[in-house]
Structure 1
Amino acid sequence: MKITQDIETPFNIKIGFNKLLKSYEAMLDSDDEFAVRKAKEILAVAEQNPVLREGFDDPKYFEELKSEIATVMQDCFSSVLTLNEIKVATIPFQNVVFNSSQRFKNIIKNAGEDFQLEVKNLPEDDSYIIGCIVILNHVFGYQVSFKRPYYYQIPDASGFMRHYKILYNADFVEIEKTASAPDITEEDYNELLDNFDNIELWKEKFPKGSYNFTGFGLANIVDVTDDQSISNIKSNLIADGTNKTVSFVTDLRQTFRSLFNLEDIDIGFSQYNPETDAFEQVYGEGFESFMLLGKEAINCKSAFCENSYKTILEEKEFFAIADVDRYFKLSQGQAPQYKILKEAGIKSAILAPIANKKGLLGVLEIVSKKPKVLNSINANKLNDIMPFIVMGVERSKREEANLIEAIIQQECTSIHPSVHWKFKDEAKSFIRAKVTADEVPTFKKISFENVYPLFGQIDVKGSSDARNSATQKDLALQLKMASSIISSALDKDYLPVFEQVKFQLDDYNSEIISDFKVDSEHTISSFLRNEVQPILELIATKHQDLESEVSDYISKIDDDLGVIYFYRKHYDDSVKLINKNMSSLLDAKQIEAQKMYPHFFERFKTDGVEHNMYIGEAITKEENFNEIYLFNLRLWQLQVMCEMENEYYHKQHEYPVALDVASMVLVFNQPLTIGFRMDEKRFDVDGTYNARYEVVKKRVDKAYIKGTEERVTQKGKLTIVYSQKEDEIEYKRYIKFLQSKQLLNDDMEVVELEDLQGVTGLRALRTSILYHSKEDSSDAYYTYEDLMDTIKS
């Protein structure tokens, strides 16, 4: 049996005192007679026991030479300081202690019989590598820094876990290279510098037991429990929520108890709301507030007397109460803070304001049911941890904001910034109800009253006809290719089923030209996939000379759809590109519009781009709405519609299919109420009367001019649909103004629309849009004031 534990190292380890004894040999020449006499006594003991100088690896010598070892090491362990110093003689980086101060022995005794001493933050592989680094420095003369703090964790008699930092002294160590040890070259050294984690490389350069280690290490041990408590508090408070354990508050409470070295203390926290000058309960963190007494919130001036209010909220200083009962009596029960704490059963407390540069964030409550254990003296322990508590509260507030955002996203999808505040308020209520209520909370309906709607769209003109045409071309191409292959197969190998399928192919080909119906695409596509495809595969197997034609046919089939998707793809790609470009332009212009006056905005991609806007006081949460902002937004909308048309036709040549677009604006001059539909994750109008607006929106672009077969929306024209005479007057002013700015032509007309289902009396203003070259385009927007100036001039 050897003294070392079952841990691999590059050393053959022996405990020896040769270097220590050499120190005493040097003392023989000293002028200090006492020192010389002591050195002679120690050296005599070593001479009588050569194993002390030679070294040993058998633990029996610890007992057999206990007295001799104590004599040799008497200067390392001062008897005067043995109850003060925490000191051990050990094998460095291993848990072997063979001599120690009395204070260390007492610490181990208090830890209990089952306690096993262990260096907590030293992995086995690191222990081996650190031994190698010691060799690099001591044997080969390199200067590699590997020092880092190592710790013991030892419980005290009260059960508190105390942390001890280990400071090693290796002055009495001798290391010698054995014959089996490889030489370490400069190249080896450079390689090792870049491979600390490669344990196999270190073992290759420094094989196990390839160096002799003789001597011992001295370790001075320092109680750093307070420092570790501060570090733990820092880690707990600034860690994000995903890294917190379920026992976060329990662990934090225990850490505070270690910091104050008091078992009977608890912690609480309340956040400060500057808008209401109140302390509020924190939900979701596991904290409770002793000052709130179970209430959701309490006004600060109801919680503190004038002096304590000033100390905490204005001066942001600690407020310590060593004896709650005493101060309750002195204030005759009138000071609210003493009354609250007494009611909560608290006997002593420290109230610590948590503040950053922006102001007060909350109050940390450290309380005890014993008087005087918390006071203004030990309150100073908080000075070292308050920066981390502030960081923790700031992080918590950020996480709360993120949680609110997540709930809004989950419950309501993406929300426009103009109405975000209302969803945020409801999300806070949702969180509060979720934490405090027994029943499952519900997200209440969000609505805005008395807002003015604006609607516009730029739509692909004749989109149904264009897509039908593309579909007919794709189907005709596929039918003709399949029919040609089967005809060739019939010439070689007559089969009635081939003739029947060819007949059906030709019949479908005639049908798509003369009588293409809504369900024709589905019927023909199914026939081609399910009946024609297997026959073509059979033909390719039977007739090798037709294999290339079948392969060409199959290569043109879309993998996902199972049919030829060429002309339709061009059409779909064009529509997607129109949507993308028009949406990007509209989004960019919206940024400027929001600066004019905040309003709700949303857009949808259909066969074009639609947009909804709502403006009003209910949305902005401010009492500064004026109809001028509505008029301004209406004018802006018309300008943007003109610019979107120009942008589209400037880039029309880039689209796979040259489609036409038509622009329309719907005017609704009465304010209405909009509500958020949770099931559809979108806003919609509320009320029967307001529903008329939605009906018109959905149908008006397909409406005809009364007495004609002409659609109200036409390519090259801006169409403004309305129902009231005052709307006509207002928008004629806008049109005249934009004509003066060369955005619209002077061919304005007023037309009456055929009645829609449930909607009558609609009219429209139509005027041609003027298209400009790219060089002539301007990003300038005209305001309502510009309009008024033009009218007056």
Structure 2
Amino acid sequence: MDINDNIESPLYLQVSFNKYLKHYEALAKSNNELVVTKANQILKVASRYPELKEGFSDTSILKTRAKEIQLILQDAFSPLLTNNEIKTASVPFHNLIFNSSERFQKIIETAGKDFTLQIKNIPENDTYILACTIILNFCYGYNLNFKRPFYYEIPDAQGILHYYKILYNADFCEIIPKKHTKLITEADYKELLDNFENIDLWKEKFPVNSYSFKGFVVSNIFDVTDDQSISNIKSNLIGDEKRKNESFMEGFHEIFRSLLRLKDIKVGFSTYNKEDQVFERVYGAGVKSYLLGDRDNEKCIDALCSRSYNRLLLENKFFSISNVDKMFEKEKGHVPHILNLHEQGIKSAIFAPIANKNGLLGIIEIVSFKPEVLNSINANKLADVMPFIITAVERTQNEEENLIEAIIQKECTSIHSSVHWRFKKEAKNFINAELKGEEASFKKIAFTNVYPLYGQIDIKGSSEARNTATSLDLSLQLNAVKNIFVRIYKTQLLPIYQQFIFQIDEYLKGLETHFQVDSEQQISEFFKQDIEPLLKHIYTNDDFKDEIDAYFNSIDDKVNVLYKHRKDYDKTISKINKEMASLLDKKQVEAQLMYPHYFERFKTDGVEHNMYIGESITKEDSFNHIYLYNLRLWQLQVMCEMENAYYQMQSKFPVALDVASMILVFNQPLSISFRMDEKQFDVDGTYNARYEIVKKRVDKAYIKGTTERVTQKGKISIVYSQKQDEIEYLRYIKFLQSKHYLDTDIEIVELEDLQAVTGLKAIRVSVLYHKNEADKSFYSYDDLMKEIKA
């Protein structure tokens, strides 16, 4: 077999002791007789076999000349140090070893018959380029440092992985260009410097087997298990997504097994919540806490005995239990953490605090299912890795705090993605000002010349529906109390009961004839001040306990009133808002892809939305009015779809309510700015404020000369003030009529003047509905109601 088989390299490899033997040729001229004698002896042996000097690539020669090679290399592999040094002789980029120390051989034997020795950290795809850089250094005098530290990973008899670092001695190597090899020029070198990943270029400059390698390398190998374990811990703790990886903790166990030279150990974590004084589980794939067992969290004082509590939380020092079972018997199971470990079958353990100058952050828990394996002596080895674990936990906590803040921002005070760049820019300016020592202030966020779009899907008659629900609940509650008083009056003829019955009847009449704003408050006070104390007194009479229990069971604990019809109403409003907002949000994702714009929505008695579009928001020189027209058409179409979606799900709601949709058209660009106090955008300037006034009042506006509101169930109302807006939207309506979104009953009406706003008009047109998504028929609102009720 040839050494070069199955290897693609610019180096043609030959084992040769030529350069090594030249050292003995020099020693043969020494003044020291012993040195001369030994040198001549080695040179004599080598002279019998010219191939040892001239070089060979046939691996069979390594076997046939093994004794001679061992004799030649006896000074490099001293018999006195053979059981101490870990050393090999080999050729580069090859796992072929032809001479080694006794200690190295024992390490390989211990690893087992199935173990295959392989160099780690050699970049498999870059070995060709690595060989080229060695040629550039050897033959051309350049100083390129591409080599990374190489390692062996070899298990011991227990299966614990040990790490061995390889240091090469290349003093006995020769590299020379072959006869017809084209030499590298300065221009070639400079070209290669900028083309590391261009393997074709390297092969062009350094063809396969174009240089001859003669010699061998001596590898001095050192056990660096502790250092590498610490390095691996650092590497494992760096990744952001590590906790989501199933193999993360298993890898972590292996690293600690190598560090402590113990096979049967596991590692767990728990974090310390200072605010609540509890230990908490770390959530992640495969992450366990042996201190908490199967609990998610536990008060620190309940998880530890007082001595262990002081040791970890106050002194920030580790403690160990070398024999859990023995300690369990001694303390008769009264020590909480010993009891917990005992129940998990753990026999020995180390608990080490993860603490910085501010105190405890968490605990690292190392456990074994064998007694005496973990103890106070080997616990000291953790001192080398704790700084890295502390740093990782600090970083994780900072990331978690940042994530919490981000979630709060997203869920509570969200900054829309379209304008996020502007906030980010000001935040950077703020930070830079602080770093320069200047007075930092967050400047006003404003966008000029943007076009507004506003729409709402409003619940019609929500106030009346709420009043009706309240009236029904109060009537139920009053009648329930009246029945109790009527019954008790038959057994106890006290006039006060008659007076209460009379007062209840008066309230019931009032609810039937005219429900007023203060009716709810008056009746609630009546129940609280008069009825409840009396019912508690009557409760002492066993004859009325069941009825009074039934009454109080009908009262809602949270609002302290009978809450049946109002609950249905509130659920309906909540569900309408949730479903409509969800649909609008989904549609908005599509709209943003058409052209970026600012969007916000609000849940009231229905769902409102604001949109602003313009050059200053997009930050790019790309805005065109076509995007505004497109967004207006999109808005009108989506409002039709929301109307349809609502009436398809209306039957699922506890209360059947109607909705009405409206769009406000404002054809002049305006300026908006972010109000820090309210955490939202608002219009700037007196003229622009007119838009806000219209927006807040227009849905309550009447058609001129009538008592009819502009918004109406089954119709979409488009409010505007300019003729060009009317022409534009009639064009959109005609298009949506062709798609069966809208009916043909278009009407144009004038609106009564609002405060400081005159000349408003509205286009009203009926929406066409489907009974469900599969239905292909088109219905007006009235037709749809008939179909649903049929």
TM-score (norm 1): 0.55
Equivalent position of 1:663 in the other structure: 693
Equivalent position of 1:148 in the other structure: 148
Contact 1:240/1:395 (<8 A) preserved = no
Contact 2:703/2:709 (<8 A) preserved = no
Equivalent position of 2:376 in the other structure: 376
SS for the counterpart of 1:291 is coil
1:331 and 1:124, CA in 2 relative to 1: closer, same or farther beyond 3 A? closer
Q: Deviations over 1:380-436 (max 9, x none)?
A: 222222233234434544665677689889xxx742389xxxxxxxxxxxxxxxxxx
Deviates more, 1:278-287 or 1:394-403: 394-403
Work out which of the residue numbers 688, 698, 701 in structure 2 matches 1:648.
Answer: 688
Equivalent position of 2:666 in the other structure: 575
Q: Deviations over 1:11-46 (max 9, x none)?
A: 222111111111111112323322121111101111
What is the distance in 2 between the residues matched to 1:461 and 1:177? Answer: 76
Amino acid across the alignment from 2:313: L
Please state how far the C-alpha of 1:460 moved relative to its aligned partner. 9.8
Alignment of 1:469-618 (within 5 A): 575=666, 581=671, 584-585=672-673, 588-589=674-675, 591=676, 593=677
Give the fraction of aligned pairs with identical amino acids, expressed as a percent.
Answer: 47
Equivalent position of 2:100 in the other structure: 100
What is the distance in 2 between the residues matched to 1:664 and 1:187? Answer: 74
1:45 and 1:705, CA in 2 relative to 1: closer, same or farther beyond 3 A? same
Equivalent position of 1:180 in the other structure: 180
SS for the counterpart of 1:663 is helix
What is the distance in 1 between the residues matched to 2:321 and 2:21? Answer: 59
What is the distance in 2 between the residues matched to 1:296 and 1:155? Answer: 36
Work out which of the residue numbers 403, 416, 431 in structure 1 matches 2:413.
Answer: 416
Equivalent position of 2:305 in the other structure: 305
Equivalent position of 2:512 in the other structure: none
What is the distance in 1 between the residues matched to 2:710 and 2:15? Answer: 107
Please state how far the C-alpha of 1:243 moved relative to its aligned partner. 8.1
Q: Deviations over 1:298-332 (max 9, x none)?
A: 22122223332222112222222223344455656
SS for the counterpart of 1:139 is helix
Contact 2:270/2:282 (<8 A) preserved = yes
Please state how far the C-alpha of 1:167 moved relative to its aligned partner. 0.9
Q: Is 1:128 matched up with 2:128?
A: yes
Equivalent position of 2:12 in the other structure: 12
SS for the counterpart of 2:214 is strand
Contact 1:5/1:94 (<8 A) preserved = no
1:357 and 1:705, CA in 2 relative to 1: closer, same or farther beyond 3 A? farther
Alignment of 1:260-339 (within 5 A): 260-328=260-328, 334-339=334-339
Amino acid across the alignment from 1:45: V
Alignment of 1:20-35 (within 5 A): 20-35=20-35
Ranges in structure 2 where 5+ consecutive residues have no aligned partner: 416-450, 457-624, 637-662, 712-718, 721-753, 758-790
Contact 1:238/1:391 (<8 A) preserved = no
Amino acid across the alignment from 2:290: F
What is the distance in 1 between the residues matched to 2:704 and 2:334? Answer: 80
Amino acid across the alignment from 1:150: F
What is the distance in 2 between the residues matched to 1:348 and 1:173? Answer: 53
What is the distance in 2 between the residues matched to 1:304 and 1:241? Answer: 31
What is the distance in 2 between the residues matched to 1:5 and 1:362? Answer: 55
Please state how far the C-alpha of 1:708 moved relative to its aligned partner. 12
What is the distance in 1 between the residues matched to 2:455 and 2:333? Answer: 80
1:663 and 1:189, CA in 2 relative to 1: closer, same or farther beyond 3 A? same
Please state how far the C-alpha of 1:707 moved relative to its aligned partner. 9.6
Equivalent position of 2:48 in the other structure: 48
Q: Deviations over 1:430-456 (max 9, x none)?
A: xxxxxxxxxxxxxxxxxxxxxxxxxxx
Please state how far the C-alpha of 1:709 moved relative to its aligned partner. 11
Contact 1:460/1:662 (<8 A) preserved = no
What is the distance in 2 between the residues matched to 1:415 and 1:461? Answer: 23
Contact 1:281/1:296 (<8 A) preserved = yes
Equivalent position of 1:73 in the other structure: 73
Amino acid across the alignment from 2:686: N
Please state how far the C-alpha of 1:89 moved relative to its aligned partner. 0.5
SS for the counterpart of 2:255 is helix
Q: Deviations over 1:492-532 (max 9, x none)?
A: xxxxxxxxxxxxxxxxxxxxxxxxxxxxxxxxxxxxxxxxx
Contact 2:701/2:709 (<8 A) preserved = no
Alignment of 1:596-745 (within 5 A): 644=684, 646=686, 648=688, 661=691, 663=693, 700=700
Equivalent position of 1:200 in the other structure: 200
SS for the counterpart of 1:232 is helix
Please state how far the C-alpha of 1:155 moved relative to its aligned partner. 2.8
Contact 1:238/1:388 (<8 A) preserved = no
Contact 1:269/1:289 (<8 A) preserved = yes
Amino acid across the alignment from 1:254: E
What is the distance in 2 between the residues matched to 1:361 and 1:343? Answer: 26
Please state how far the C-alpha of 1:573 moved relative to its aligned partner. 11
Q: Deviations over 1:543-595 (max 9, x none)?
A: xxxxxxxxxxxxxx989999x99xx9xxx9973875x73xx33xx22x1x35x
1:396 and 1:2, CA in 2 relative to 1: closer, same or farther beyond 3 A? same
Please state how far the C-alpha of 1:78 moved relative to its aligned partner. 1.2
Please state how far the C-alpha of 1:352 moved relative to its aligned partner. 1.2
Alignment of 1:382-397 (within 5 A): 382-397=382-397
SS for the counterpart of 1:182 is coil
SS for the counterpart of 1:280 is strand
Contact 2:278/2:297 (<8 A) preserved = yes
What is the distance in 1 between the residues matched to 2:709 and 2:154? Answer: 93
What is the distance in 2 between the residues matched to 1:577 and 1:75? Answer: 94
Please state how far the C-alpha of 1:254 moved relative to its aligned partner. 2.4
What is the distance in 1 between the residues matched to 2:92 and 2:707? Answer: 103
Equivalent position of 1:116 in the other structure: 116
SS for the counterpart of 2:693 is strand
What is the distance in 2 between the residues matched to 1:260 and 1:576? Answer: 74
Please state how far the C-alpha of 1:276 moved relative to its aligned partner. 1.7
Equivalent position of 1:91 in the other structure: 91
Amino acid across the alignment from 1:415: C
Amino acid across the alignment from 1:663: I
Please state how far the C-alpha of 1:223 moved relative to its aligned partner. 2.1
Please state how far the C-alpha of 1:272 moved relative to its aligned partner. 1.2
SS for the counterpart of 1:69 is helix
Contact 1:270/1:362 (<8 A) preserved = yes
Q: Deviations over 1:69-103 (max 9, x none)?
A: 11100011111221221111110121111111112
Amino acid across the alignment from 1:104: F
1:172 and 1:702, CA in 2 relative to 1: closer, same or farther beyond 3 A? farther
Contact 2:246/2:285 (<8 A) preserved = no
1:703 and 1:227, CA in 2 relative to 1: closer, same or farther beyond 3 A? farther
1:5 and 1:154, CA in 2 relative to 1: closer, same or farther beyond 3 A? farther
SS for the counterpart of 2:36 is helix
Amino acid across the alignment from 2:31: D
Please state how far the C-alpha of 1:158 moved relative to its aligned partner. 2.3
Q: Deviations over 1:198-241 (max 9, x none)?
A: 22222221222222211111111222233332233223323112
Please state how far the C-alpha of 1:289 moved relative to its aligned partner. 1.8
What is the distance in 1 between the residues matched to 2:452 and 2:169? Answer: 84
Ranges in structure 1 where 5+ consecutive residues have no aligned partner: 419-458, 465-556, 595-600, 604-608, 610-642, 650-659, 667-696, 716-765, 770-793
What is the distance in 1 between the residues matched to 2:122 and 2:234? Answer: 22
Equivalent position of 2:345 in the other structure: 345
What is the distance in 2 between the residues matched to 1:90 and 1:255? Answer: 30
Amino acid across the alignment from 1:21: L
Equivalent position of 2:168 in the other structure: 168
Contact 2:86/2:220 (<8 A) preserved = yes
TM-score (norm 2): 0.55
1:58 and 1:335, CA in 2 relative to 1: closer, same or farther beyond 3 A? same
SS for the counterpart of 1:350 is strand
